[in-house]
Structure 1
Amino acid sequence: MKTGDDRPTPPLRGDERETLRGFLEFHRATLAMKCEGLTDEQLRQQSSPPSTLSLLGLVRHMAEVERTWFRRVVNQELDLPFLWSAKGDFQEAYDASRSTREEVFAAWEAEVEHARRIEREAASLDVRAYFARWEEDVSLRMVMVHLLHEYARHNGHADFLRESIDGVVGA
Structure 2
Amino acid sequence: MTVERPSPPLAAGERETLRACLDFHRATLAWKCEGLTDEELRRQSMPPSTLSLLGLVRHMAEVERAWFRRTVNREDIPLLWSEEGDYQEAYEASGSTRAEAFEAWQAEVDHARRIEREAASLDVTAHQARWGEDVSLRLVMLHLIHEYARHNGHADLLREGIDGTVGA
Specify the TM-score bucket, using the shorter chain as the normaliser: over 0.9
TM-score of the two chains, using structure 1 as the length reference:
0.95
Give secondary structure in 2 for the equivalent of 1:126. coil
Q: CA RMSD in A?
A: 0.8
Which residue in 1 is equivalent to 2:28?
Answer: 30
Which residue in 2 is equivalent to 1:145?
Answer: 142
Q: 1:51: how far off?
A: 1.2
Deviations 1:46-101 (A, max 9, x none): 00112110000000000000000000000000x20110111111111111000000
TM-score of the two chains, using structure 2 as the length reference:
0.97
* Aligned-partner Cα distance in 1 for 2:131–2:156: 31
Which residue in 2 is equivalent to 1:130?
Answer: 127
Give secondary structure in 2 for the equivalent of 1:115. helix
1:65 to 57, 63, 71: 63
Give secondary structure in 2 for the equivalent of 1:61. helix
Matched, 1:10 2:5: no
1:163 to 141, 160, 164: 160
Gap runs ≥5 in structure 1? none
* Aligned-partner Cα distance in 2 for 1:28–1:6: 10
Q: 1:6: how far off?
A: 2.4
Kindly provide the amino acid, as one letter, of the partner of residue 35 in structure 1: C
Q: 1:133: how far off?
A: 1.4
Q: 1:136: how far off?
A: 1.0
Count of residues in Structure 1 that have an aligned counterpart in Structure 2? 166
* Aligned-partner Cα distance in 1 for 2:33–2:97: 12
Identity of aligned residues (%): 77
Give secondary structure in 2 for the equivalent of 1:56. helix
